[in-house]
Amino acid sequence: MASASIPVYNSSNNPLENSSSHNASRESLKMEPLADCSLLPGEERIIDKDIIYICPFSGALKGKVFITNYRLYFKSADADPAVTLDVPLGAIGRVEKMGGASSRGENSYGLDITCKDMRNLRFALKQEGHSRRDIFDILFKYAFPLSHGLLLFAYLSQEKFEENGWSVYKPMEEFRRQGLPNDKWRVTFINANYELCDTYPTILVVPFKATEEDLRKVCTFRSRGRIPVLSWIHRENQAVICRCSQPLVGMSGKRNKDDERYLDLIREANGTAKLTIYDARPSVNAVANKATGGGYEGDDAYQNAELVFLDIHNIHVMRESLKKLKDIVYPNVEESHWLSSLESTHWLEHIKLVISGAIQVADKISGGNSVVVHCSDGWDRTAQLTSLAMLMLDSHYRTLRGFQVLLEKEWIGFGHKFANRIGHGDKNHADQDRSPIFVQFIDCVWQMTKQFPTAFEFNERLLVTILDHLFSCRFGTFLFNCERARDTNELRSKTVSLWSLVNFSPPSRSLQELRSKTVSLWSLVNFSPPSRSLQELRSKTVSLWSLVNSDLSFYQNPFYTPESNRVLYPVASMRHLELWVTYYIRWNPRIRQQQQSPVEQRYIELLALRDEYLKKLEELQLSDSSPNSSHLSNSSTPNAASPTQHITHLHTPF
Amino acid sequence: MFDGRVLLKQVILLFWPLISTWVQGAEKIDSCQLQVLEMLSSLGSAGGKSAKPSFVSYVTPEEIKSEKEPSRKEKHPDLLPGEVVFCSASTVLKYTQDDLSQRGVFGVLLCTNFRVSFVSDEEPTEEMVRTLFKNKLYGENDIPLSCVDNIYGDKRKLITGGLVKNKYPSKMIIHCKDLRVFQFSLSFSKEEDAKKIFQGIVHHCLEPKSLRCLFAFSYCENTSPNRKCVGGLFTKLLRKKQTVMFDSVEDWTQDMKRTKGNCRVVSENSNFELSPKLPQYFIVPKNVSDEDLTKYQGKGLPMWCWSHHSGCALFKTASIPLVQEDNVCCRMLTAVAHNHLYSVKTEDLSDTLPTVQDILLSYNKFKQFFLIDNTTEFWMSDMKWFSSLDNCGWLDIIRQCLQKAVEVVESLEKENTNVLIMEEGGSDLCCVVSSLVQLMLDPYYRTLLGFQSLVQKEWVAGGHAFLDRSNHLHLKDKVESQSPVFLLFLECVWQLQQQHGPAFQFSETYLTVLSDSVHVPVFTTFLFNNDGHRDSLLRAESPHTQRSPLNCPTVWDWSVQFDCKAQDLFTNPLYTEKPKQDTSVRKSYRPRHLRQLSLPSSAFKTPPKKGFFKDEADNLKKILGVKRLSRWMLSPSSDSPQTSSSVREFYEAWQTKPLDYHGLLLPCLDGPSIRVWMQRYLRWIHDVQILGGGPVAMLSKVSEILGEVQELQRQLDRHGCTLTSNHKGARPRAKTAAAVIAARSSVRLSSSFPFVTSRNWAFKPAIPTSLLQSLMVTGMPGNLADREDDGGPESLV
């Protein structure tokens, strides 16, 4: 974070103003240190302390740290430009004491904080008088509230947004959009009380011919009762993507007639000759799973199916891979043999495998063949594959709201274990259940947006915001492992959805905020996302989607060109995959953050210029009232999607 | 008659090097010769439009399958003026994909004095006919002879010149210098034809030849120089002002005035009296005397490159062998130092940058990653892509050159000292570094004309040995001197452009096309080793001896290769011209101000850096002693970390200031920032083309809106409305830009645009073969790869 804030604001056209306002803020800092950090509704200050932040980029910085029940905030006292840190406590993965009372050397006594968002923080304190004890205890308690019998901040937040982000996704509406139910597929409420499968959502779509009794029987043969259910159907050829967990074949190679018949019903539904089953795992692992009672669909048992292994590794491999990536990018980018180091992390290689798996799924569906996707339990790799394939196939999911629906449906609804994978509020940093599966998925989405810069309505900022709030615990969106747990904990009534923020339309926003958004929001997001949220909070208050939706234009890609029936096939070659520098290396001030923006900036400038000219022309024509004026205005109206017009459209509620 | 034709064919094949002169001086004309003459003269007189000569007659009747006869007659490319077919073979199969699938098209393979050409038997589809971005000199199935890189036979055996006698492979793979790969099967052709075409191609592409045989000479003899097209944004841009060629005293004087330099223009070499290796005109420090000029044929003369507004300047020189100890070196250094504040830093690039051989070796490894003739191997190599890229070192060489340029920029900009870069020969890395420095410091060179003038100044007039470095002639004794130094420069420019798009008036496509043009042996720009060489050859080859030299086009005459619409793709839609008033501000007060400031700083305050540079300002007199000369000339390269950290500081300081696209530009040199020039290297590889995607998807939207804005401006102008706009540059040309867009929007673009546009796209996505086999996740604690995602057996239901 160490945001040497001046460089990033550079892209603005008025550097003078920036520096002067900056000076002003420094003046006020001496009197009222937390003045520029307004608290969220429900946020409370716990402790302030003079401290030294050992910034990996600018060295040791004296300043003051403030800890609230939501964040850690640091502001340097003497550095110019002032360095600030604004870290949601949810992003903290580990707090350790560094050095002892007798440690020698400057700044050797203090705290070492490991964050989940690709950075580490080091603070040094005076060695006398156990000066770190209180701050360590408080940090430890509030960063890991669940380990201390406290509530996650999302339950304490009093934020309010105009839109309720929780209503972004309505399962029935989404199925209806896909043209379901129909004569081949029906909606079942068999899981209304989570009795069939406790990690599935309540509303499921299954083959029309399968009875509730059939479902119960199949349930016994699938790991954790996660039976094959429909995720997506192709409108024209009726090919479907079904998802499930592995069959419980075991060492003895058990068979289950009901399961076999059930898969055949899926195949029959659109007359596919062969059903393709994509097992996301490497075949070796699938075989090994037999020893623990799992396994895969054998040829002899499932004669009308072909099984394809996609060779994607498990959560442990991914965790280690990202750890290695962090090692080479934080705090400093590996200098010698950067590319070889990058390769040795295997991170992009894993990304490639996930994307190419999804391409195969999408390709099969486009060809009219139904597919079933599973891994071991069907909540990690399976979710990655189905949601990426759906993103390739269905342009609706490439819109801002469609993407929210996709996440709600395939990840949150179908029980990706966010609580375990992220470890919200949990002190056990070495928990083997943690893994950046969702981060990896968002990275895959980013790779797609990079390859198809005009195909997505949302931009990189949305993806970064989602990842920031994946950890922050400010919104309820990514909390808990499954729907059942969310119901038990009354999540939707007690917390706010991120989408409330994202979809919130801007009229209530102050002018100043709007200006800061147009000028430097990009940098804000990159360097200090929470400080951005602070600004917003003056006018806004509550669900991750509440946040997302409040800023529609901010998250919008100006180059977006809707193409409704187009299937996107990204190229899953290392030649085109690149490290998401603006996410993974965003804390490094040397990495210029504006990579993509000059094109965007120029485009927006030109759009504004066009509007200005159109207006002038209109005025001229009015005064002229010349005979050919109608012709002129006609020629210009077809392209009428300037940002300003966009915003006015957004005022109208959806 | 028939025998005569065969004879003729062989004569042309074997003695082509002599034919042009032979024909000219022919006294006795028999029937065969007559045919050649007719052929040549008909071509020659055709002038601008390439005529379709009717001499295909020496394809023997047996070759022609009777049913195909009518269409057969047309099976040759549209020949260029002065182009002659050497040999041809029919029913050659050109593979469309890789060697695993046997799909392909049949056609005629020809070898002319300009190119190897494949003419498909199939009628060209309409789609292919209206390709937007068509090179007028050669088509997508043509390979200019100098563009052939390597030829492989069966089992991918490298074919080298002399070895072939009577054998020919059934399959021939041609790797091109512009990274295209062609695969032909000769097994369906008549044995005689196959043998001849194979030997013909090998002979004309790989065997040594004389410079006179290059196509440029017969082309130029047969064309009239002015074939300008009318209209077109790009051509108008070019026509308004011309590229400065630096072939006259005025050009040099002008450039020095522009940069407010205060040096001496030398015209004593206008007839190459001083040395044929020196440029015809050049600039040296004021203090260089006449005696200095003549004494060593110009060896060791500091040549002025560019003056900084503070008064200090950049010079380059060919380093002098240390044997010449009569302190010419010191004299020259003193001369440089006198240019501004008596300060000078020297930098011997031979010590700190890779040699031309290193550059060649690295590039040869690098290019292999893109010469794909086998999709399976391509995907196999995909997993090791990053480390392979790393190991070949090409990106690192690019980084080193950029870093060196930043170091020089730092000395000029921050310390205001004169800089003298040197290198043996003084015309390779000196050209790279000096042109990069100028691109970073001087926005003029980031305009189209400015860039072209820069290449003229530093490379063409500067005496970069284009001919030796490209080894167009395949001379055995020049194999060593071959090296893609100019390409390296373009790579560096691309990196800058990639990082600071809006600062450049020209586009990525422009750079790619320029890099291709080096291998089209038509332009005088790239055919010679230096001014003297160019002058003597063009004079000698001129039909009007003793009058004017042969008039050949330069590469900057883009209308030779592309029509106006295609040329519009050379401009960058992100570029905006600098608002006028700023320049006057800069001119009026800044230089003087800085000059005053820099007086103490450059002489005393500059911390003595242990970098590549030796700050010799304060005690130059001591250094002038011969004793220390050697130490001084050979700067140690061991302390590079310190230099790079100083460069980093300089970069970071620059980065904190607001970015001005019309001011100083520095590249970020961190690992992730130096990238592969995707457009140039991946454009022909079908599997990695992103259909409907790539950066072009965004840029085309920008140009679309730019076209609209320009159109509106035009309409407003018609209404007599005065605008305060910064888009004046392109105002009246909206029509063409709009036309380009109209043409483009009908085609689905891919990441390879404009080089590959719409084709019969297989709707199948490319699915990487060979996936995980290579991904070894061994050596992890507890072998994580084998573990269960969530708990062990007990957690299973």
Predicted confidence (pLDDT) per residue in B89-140, tens digit:
999 999 886 555 678 889 999 999 999 999 988 876 655 555 668 888 998 8
Question: Which of B379, B671, B705 is closest, CB to CB, to A334?
Answer: B671
* Residue B95 backbone dihedrals phi, psi, to 5 degrees: -70, 140
For residue A239, count CB atoms less than 10 angstroms from its CB and return exposed for 0-12, middle for 13-18, buried for 19 or more: buried
Kindly report the nearest CA distance between residue A94 and chain B, in angstroms. 21
Confidence of residue B149 (pLDDT cuts 50, 70, 90): very high
A281, A302, A300, A277: which is closest to A290 by C-alpha?
A281
**A499 marked ligand binding residue:** no
A503, A499, A239: which is closest to A369 by C-alpha?
A239
Question: Which of B716, B767, B780 is closest, CB to CB, to A320?
Answer: B780
- Provide the whole-model pTM: 0.84
Q: Which helix (H) or strand (E) holds B348?
A: strand B344-348
ipTM topping 0.90: no
B47 touches chain A (CB under 8 A): no
Residue-wise pLDDT for B616-667, tens only, equals 433 443 443 322 333 333 333 334 456 677 888 898 888 888 888 999 999 9
- pLDDT of B724 higher than 70: no
Q: Which helix (H) or strand (E) holds A278?
A: strand A275-279
Instruction: Using DSSP bridges, classify how beta strands B181-185 and B171-176 pair: parallel, antiparallel or unpaired.
Output: antiparallel
- CA dist A47 and A45 (Å) reads 6
* pLDDT, position A519: 29
Tokens of B308: 């900084």
Residue B730 exposure: Cα atoms within 13 Å on the Cβ side: 27
A541 secondary structure, DSSP code: -
Is B662:B582 a contact under the CB 8 Å cutoff?
yes
B193, B214, B234, B70: which is closest to B144 by C-alpha?
B214
- pLDDT of B444 higher than 90: yes
Q: Active-site residue among A375, A444, A473, A482?
A: A375
DSSP string, A31-81: H-TTTT-PPPTT--EEEEEEEEEEETTTEEEEEEEEEESSEEEEEESS-SS
- Name the amino acid, one letter, at B568: D
B653 touches chain A (CB under 8 A): no
For residue B94, count CB atoms less than 10 angstroms from its CB and return exposed for 0-12, middle for 13-18, buried for 19 or more: middle
**Composition of chain A by helix, strand, coil, percent to 5:** 45, 15, 40
* pLDDT, position A649: 36
Given CA atoms A449, A454, A460, A462 in this order, what sign does their dihedral have?
A: negative
Q: Provide, as residue numbers in chain A, all residues whose Cβ is less than 8 Å from the Cβ of B723.
A: 613
- CA dist B484 and A209 (Å) reads 68
Kindly report the nearest CA distance between residue A47 and chain B, in angstroms. 33
Q: Provide, as residue numbers in chain B, all residues whose Cβ is less than 8 Å from the Cβ of A337.
A: 390
- CA dist B370 and B176 (Å) reads 11
Tokens of A296: 């895969």
- Least confident segment among B373-382, B413-422, B562-571: B373-382
What is the percent of chain B where pLDDT is above 90?
A: 32
- CA dist B331 and B293 (Å) reads 12
Look-up of token digits 């999607």: A641
CB contact under 8 A, A568 and B787: no
What average pLDDT does range B577-600 have in this prediction?
45
Q: Provide, as residue numbers in chain A, all residues whose Cβ is less than 8 Å from the Cβ of B382.
A: 352, 573-575
Kindly report the nearest CA distance between residue B768 and chain A, in angstroms. 7
**A380 marked ligand binding residue:** yes
3-state secondary structure A569-633: CCCCCCCCCCCCHHHHCCCCCCCCCCCCHHHHHHHHHHHHHHHHHHHHHHHHHHHHCCCCHHHHH
What residues contact A67, with CB distance under 8 A and at least 6 apart?
A45, A46, A47, A48, A73, A89, A135, A138, A139, A142
Q: Which residues of chain A have pLDDT under 70?
A: 1-36, 505-552, 592-596, 624-654
- CA dist B292 and B304 (Å) reads 15
Tokens of B281: 């005109």
Look-up of token digits 């000339």: B633
Question: Which of A340, A590, A609 is closest, CB to CB, to B390?
Answer: A340
Size of interface A-B (CB pairs under 8 A): 254
Q: At what angle do helices B356-368 and B485-499 cross, to 10 degrees?
A: 70
Exposure letters A599-619 (e unless 16+ CB within 10 A, then b): bbbbbbbbbebbbebbebbee
B608 touches chain A (CB under 8 A): no
CB contact under 8 A, A614 and B391: no
**Catalytic annotation present for A375:** yes
- CA dist B688 and B692 (Å) reads 12
Residue-wise pLDDT for B463-515, tens only, equals 999 999 998 888 888 888 899 999 999 999 999 999 999 999 999 999 999 99
Residue A476 sits at the vertex; the CA angle it makes with A470 and A479, to the nearest 5 degrees, is 60
CA A22 to chain centre: 31
* pLDDT, position B224: 65
Q: How far apart are the first and last CA of chain A?
A: 36
Question: Which of B502, B652, B716 is closest, CB to CB, to A598?
Answer: B502
* pLDDT, position B344: 86
What residues contact B641, with CB distance under 8 A and at least 6 apart?
none
Determine which of B388, B712, B787 to mutate to test the interface with A (most A C-beta atoms within 10 Å). Answer: B712
Question: Which of B723, B785, B796 is closest, CB to CB, to A294?
Answer: B796
A466, A453, A320: which is closest to A387 by C-alpha?
A466
What average pLDDT does range B13-36 have in this prediction?
41
What residues contact A614, with CB distance under 8 A and at least 6 apart?
A636, B712
What residues contact A94, with CB distance under 8 A and at least 6 apart?
A113, A114, A429
Is A294:A250 a contact under the CB 8 Å cutoff?
yes
Q: Which helix (H) or strand (E) holds B158?
A: strand B158-159
A93, A114, A77, A109: which is closest to A470 by C-alpha?
A93
* pLDDT, position B539: 77
Is B695:B702 a contact under the CB 8 Å cutoff?
no
Residue B649 exposure: Cα atoms within 13 Å on the Cβ side: 8
Tokens of A33: 């240190």
As a residue count, chain A comes to: 654
Residue A159 exposure: Cα atoms within 13 Å on the Cβ side: 39
Question: Which of B658, B701, B786 is closest, CB to CB, to A10?
Answer: B658
Is B99:B373 a contact under the CB 8 Å cutoff?
yes
Q: Which residue would you say has higher pLDDT here, B224 or A630?
A: B224
Is B452:B510 a contact under the CB 8 Å cutoff?
no
A335 secondary structure, DSSP code: -
Kindly report the nearest CA distance between residue B670 and chain A, in angstroms. 7
What residues contact B570, with CB distance under 8 A and at least 6 apart?
B234, B448, B506, B507, B509, B510, B513, B558
- Name the amino acid, one letter, at B614: K
- CA dist B262 and B256 (Å) reads 7
B790 touches chain A (CB under 8 A): yes
- CA dist B621 and A140 (Å) reads 66
Q: Provide, as residue numbers in chain A, all residues whose Cβ is less than 8 Å from the Cβ of B787.
A: 314, 316
Q: Which residue would you say has higher pLDDT here, B222 or A220?
A: A220
**A327 marked ligand binding residue:** no
* pLDDT, position B127: 55
Tokens of B578: 């600098």
Q: At what angle do helices B734-745 and B695-718 cross, to 10 degrees?
A: 140
- pLDDT of B6 higher than 60: no
Confidence of residue B595 (pLDDT cuts 50, 70, 90): very low
Kindly report the nearest CA distance between residue B135 and chain A, in angstroms. 27
Look-up of token digits 């996930």: A354
CB contact under 8 A, A292 and B788: yes
For residue B64, count CB atoms less than 10 angstroms from its CB and return exposed for 0-12, middle for 13-18, buried for 19 or more: middle
Kindly report the nearest CA distance between residue A30 and chain B, in angstroms. 24
Look-up of token digits 């669909």: A297
- pLDDT of B596 higher than 80: no
B381, B359, B358, B356: which is closest to B371 by C-alpha?
B381
Cross-strand pairs, A110: A98, A124
Is B387:B509 a contact under the CB 8 Å cutoff?
no
What average pLDDT does range B174-181 have in this prediction?
94
* pLDDT, position B100: 59
B776 touches chain A (CB under 8 A): no
- CA dist B679 and B508 (Å) reads 8
Residue B4 exposure: Cα atoms within 13 Å on the Cβ side: 9
Determine which of A606, A630, A633, A642 to mutate to test the interface with B (most B C-beta atoms within 10 Å). Answer: A606
